[in-house]
Amino acid sequence: MTAYTAMGLVSTGFPIPDTLFTYGLHSTIDVVADLGKAVTLDTTATNTMKLAGTSDPIHGILVLAEDRAALGKVGTVARQFKEKLPTVAGSALAVGMSVTGNSAAPGNVLPMAGGAHDGTLVIEVDPAGLWVAVESW
């Protein structure tokens, strides 16, 4: 999904093909509803991602997912991106902040505590507070 700023600049929707990787997905991930949400490493399983919760570092966004029945859920994760991530209205996010996961709404993002930076940067905020454009490196 591409967003246009007031200056007519495209601020999201840039694929970075060399940073797309396949991982196993935690069983709680919905292969349709959770596309485009923030994910983090699931340390209880090998090579597996889960939806990012509060204070979880964001390791990427889920761009493709499928349930392979006997093999379980697998998905493609963009490790570097410049995309919109869902947030919850009233999250007090602003341009220049870094983001972390949100346990109250897994896969959504919150401001990183203490203003720390971790490789994510908010570059645009939805006026309604439903998403932020985030750049990851």
Extract long-range pairs of 96-99: CB within 8 Å, 24+ residues apart: 96/121, 96/122, 97/121, 97/122, 98/122, 99/38, 99/58, 99/132, 99/134
For 14, the token pair is: 């840039």
β-strand 38-41 against 60-67: which pairing, if any?
antiparallel
Stretch 38-61: mean pLDDT, rounded? 94
Residue 71 has pLDDT above 90, yes or no: no
Render 46-83 in DSSP notation, one character per residue. Answer: TTEEEE--BT----EEEEEEEE-GGG-EEEEEESSEEE
Does residue 5 register a pLDDT over 70?
Answer: no
Which one-letter amino acid corresponds to residue 8?
G
Tokens at 132, concatenated: 């932020």
C-alpha 24/C-alpha 7 separation (Å) is: 40
22-41: average pLDDT: 96
| Angstrom distance (rounded) from CA 101 to CA 109 | 5
Half-sphere exposure (Cβ direction) of 39: Cα atoms closer than 13 Å: 34
What residue ranges do the domains of the chain occupy?
17-136
CATH architecture of 17-136: Beta Barrel (2.40)
pLDDT in tens, 72-109: 999 999 999 999 999 988 888 999 999 999 999 999 99
Identity (one letter) of the amino acid at 125?
Answer: V
Q: What is the mean predicted confidence (pLDDT) over 4-26?
A: 77
Cβ 102 vs Cβ 110: under 8 Å: yes
